Structure 1
């Protein structure tokens, strides 16, 4: 099993002052967390894409490029790239460049995105968002694979023998399809034989398990080998401590702050108490043994081989945040790595291509 730490770069008001801190400090936290994730042995670090309050993740390629310069081993994920909002040509240019700058450490998780404010910002409607997502992905993946692309597109100007540079480092890049509630993204992933990443953060397990079962059914429908399926899954929270009592005590203020934020924002509340949240959500809160057991129970339903946890302290003190991640990596991850297989594809970056020898300099020059 492989493990990612991800951030959506949420920028909420400070509970004490009611005001958000400086944005540049929030970005600094993201960079520090990426360095910590690599130091602790996480396999990947992901940055989301949102174009509305309270997120600062509107330019994930810029953030990931900076992280690429600060790290050497960890894979870099988007979580998710909102292709329904983007011009696929411009998205290709950005991500192909990032692929080079990271020495082929890029993985993409794509999705239509959500939130009415960002749909309005990009003039995307609920009726056309899935069609936009599918068209953008088809063009994006062709640009990554083909030197010249002709496409009679509906949502951007048509392409005629278009050459788009730079040509990519990884050929092709691995693309996961982020899925929260809709079968459209699941079907798109299965159609192209791509891996699926279940959000798995808002509800109990049942709707996510149903979508993953549907993905496996559609995978078979499109004629792909079941052995090639790869599924990732998110978590709604993480705090690992020596005992369950210690974990609940430390995490309770975080849960209550998140609950107050949901209610103030008019968001639906699914879990009213911390105890219900720990019992029925995907949150990993408890002792190492409890966390291992819960991941195994979810694996029985999902068959997932990649797991993401939150990279941010999210209200925990810096010391508790680091202690939790260290305990996860020292006592939880090694057990799960032994018991649950890796995805059925290479994880290491693509090998560097040899640099062509310079042309000989004519005599007399």
Structure 2
């Protein structure tokens, strides 16, 4: 099994202290967490994309490009890229550039995105969001694989023998499809033989397990080898201590702060108590052995080979969160790596051989 840390770069008051850090401080924290993830041995670091409050992750390519310059080994994920809101040509140009800057360490998780405010900002409706996502992905996918692309499109000007530069480093880039509640993204992933990443954060396990079963069914329907169907899954929260009662005690004020925030927003909590949250949600809270056992229980239904852990822990002191991540890598990850399979491909990218220009003049020819 492989492990990611990821962040949506929430910019909101701390749920326990009420203190809100500056925008610059939040970005600095993201950089520190990415460096820590590489130092501790996580396999990937992800940055989401949202275009509304309380998130400041509207430019994941910029953030990931900065992280690419500061890291050497860790793979860089988008969690997720909201292709339904983006022009696929512009998205291709940004991510192909990032692919080179990262030395081929880029992986994409795409999705239609959530939130009414960002739909309004980009003039996207709930009725056309899925169609936009599929069309943008198909154009993006074609541009990545082909030097010239012709495409009849509904949501942007058609393309005729269009070229987009630079050409990417990875051929092709791996694209995961983020899945939360709908079968559309699941079917799109299965159709193209792409891996699926389950959001797995809001509800109990049932609806997510059902979508993953549907993915595997559609995968077989489209004629792909069942052994190659690949699933990743997120988790709703994480905090581990050597003793479970210490982990619960430390997390209790964090959970209480989140409950209060949900109620202020007029939302009915899915998990009304900490005990229920720990038992029925995907949150990994407790001793290392309890975390290991819970991941195993989820794996029985998901068959996932990649696990995403939240990089942020608002409400917990930073030193305590760091100690919890260190505990993950020292006592939890080694057991899960031993017990559960990796994805069915090499984790490091297989890059094309470098090409030597025949002359300096050819370098200048468009």
TM-score interval, smaller chain: over 0.9
Structure 2 residue aligned with 1:116: 116
* CA apart distance, 1:258: 1.2
More displaced stretch, 260-269 vs 100-109: 260-269
Paired with 1:333 and 1:14, the residues of 2 have a C-alpha distance of: 28
For the 8 Å contact 1:103–1:350, the answer to whether it is kept is: no
Counterpart of 1:109 in 2: which secondary structure?
Answer: strand
Counterpart of 1:79 in 2: which secondary structure?
Answer: strand
For the 8 Å contact 1:84–1:129, the answer to whether it is kept is: yes
1:299-353 Cα offsets, whole Å, 9 max, x none, are 0000000000001132210111001000010000000000101001111133473
For the 8 Å contact 1:103–1:349, the answer to whether it is kept is: no
The yes-or-no answer on 1:201 pairing with 2:197 is no
Counterpart of 2:232 in 1: which secondary structure?
Answer: strand
Counterpart of 1:13 in 2: which secondary structure?
Answer: coil
* CA apart distance, 1:266: 2.5
Paired with 1:214 and 1:336, the residues of 2 have a C-alpha distance of: 25
* CA apart distance, 1:263: 1.5
In structure 2, the CA distance between the partners of 1:303 and 1:216, relative to structure 1 (3 Å rule), is: same
Structure 2 residue aligned with 1:126: 126
1:259-304 Cα offsets, whole Å, 9 max, x none, are 1111212233100011000000000000010000000000000000
Paired with 2:231 and 2:91, the residues of 1 have a C-alpha distance of: 24
Structure 1 residue aligned with 2:364: none
When the two chains are superposed, the root-mean-square deviation of aligned CA atoms in Å is 1.4
In structure 2, the CA distance between the partners of 1:259 and 1:148, relative to structure 1 (3 Å rule), is: same
Structure 1 residue aligned with 2:146: 146
Paired with 1:92 and 1:139, the residues of 2 have a C-alpha distance of: 9
* CA apart distance, 1:46: 0.2
Q: Any unmatched runs of 5+ in structure 1?
A: none
For the 8 Å contact 2:9–2:26, the answer to whether it is kept is: yes
For the 8 Å contact 1:103–1:352, the answer to whether it is kept is: no
1:103-151 Cα offsets, whole Å, 9 max, x none, are 0000000000010000000000000000000000000000000110000
In structure 2, the CA distance between the partners of 1:16 and 1:295, relative to structure 1 (3 Å rule), is: closer
For the 8 Å contact 1:8–1:55, the answer to whether it is kept is: yes
For the 8 Å contact 1:84–1:112, the answer to whether it is kept is: yes
Residues paired across the two proteins, number:
361
Give TM-score, length-normalised by structure 2: 0.96
Structure 2 residue aligned with 1:313: 313
Give TM-score, length-normalised by structure 1: 0.96
